[in-house]
């Protein structure tokens, strides 16, 4: 398994452990050179996001990299964590429905467990 896949799976595990809902994964490297994966999920509170950020930053240190960008405001309901290899997008339910980010990139969707492409 490639290091990028291992890292993506570890981030997905954090989101699963923190009860993030409806997690999806996009292999964005197929379309854009900005990252290898987008991981998208639905959160219910800023407290949940804070717990995710702490664990995600701990994981980044474990793999010897750091967060490049963090954009999190409760007002807009979209929390972005950019770790270069993986960019995590967390949305409130309303904003997830509004932006439908995974629909923009559905051609590049992968199974969150295996990271294998989904059949469309």
Tens of pLDDT, residue by residue over 4-47, are 899 999 999 999 999 999 999 999 998 999 999 999 999 998 88
Domains delineated in the chain: 3-110 (3.30.460.10)
Q: What are phi and psi of 37, to 5 degrees?
A: -140, 145
pLDDT band at 120 (very low <50, low <70, confident <90, very high): low
Per-residue DSSP letters for 51-77?
A: HHHHHHHHHHHHTT----EEEEETTTT
Give me the mean pLDDT over the 69-83 stretch. Answer: 82
User: How far is Cα 41 from Cα 64, in angstroms, rounded to an integer?
Assistant: 24
**pLDDT at residue number 58:** 92
Tens of pLDDT, residue by residue over 78-113, are 999 999 999 999 999 999 999 999 999 999 999 999
């Amino acid at each position: 398994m490639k290091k990028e896949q291992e890292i993506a799976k570890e981030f997905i595990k954090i989101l699963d452990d923190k009860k993030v809902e409806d997690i999806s994964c996009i292999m964005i490297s197929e379309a854009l050179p900005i990252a290898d994966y987008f991981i998208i999920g639905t959160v219910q509170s800023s407290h949940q996001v804070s717990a995710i950020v702490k664990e995600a930053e701990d994981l980044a240190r474990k793999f010897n990299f750091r967060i490049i960008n963090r954009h999190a405001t409760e007002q807009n309901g979209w929390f972005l964590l950019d770790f270069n290899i993986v960019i995590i997008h967390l949305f409130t339910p309303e904003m997830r429905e509004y932006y439908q980010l995974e629909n923009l990139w559905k051609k590049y969707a992968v199974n969150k467990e295996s990271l294998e492409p989904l059949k469309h």
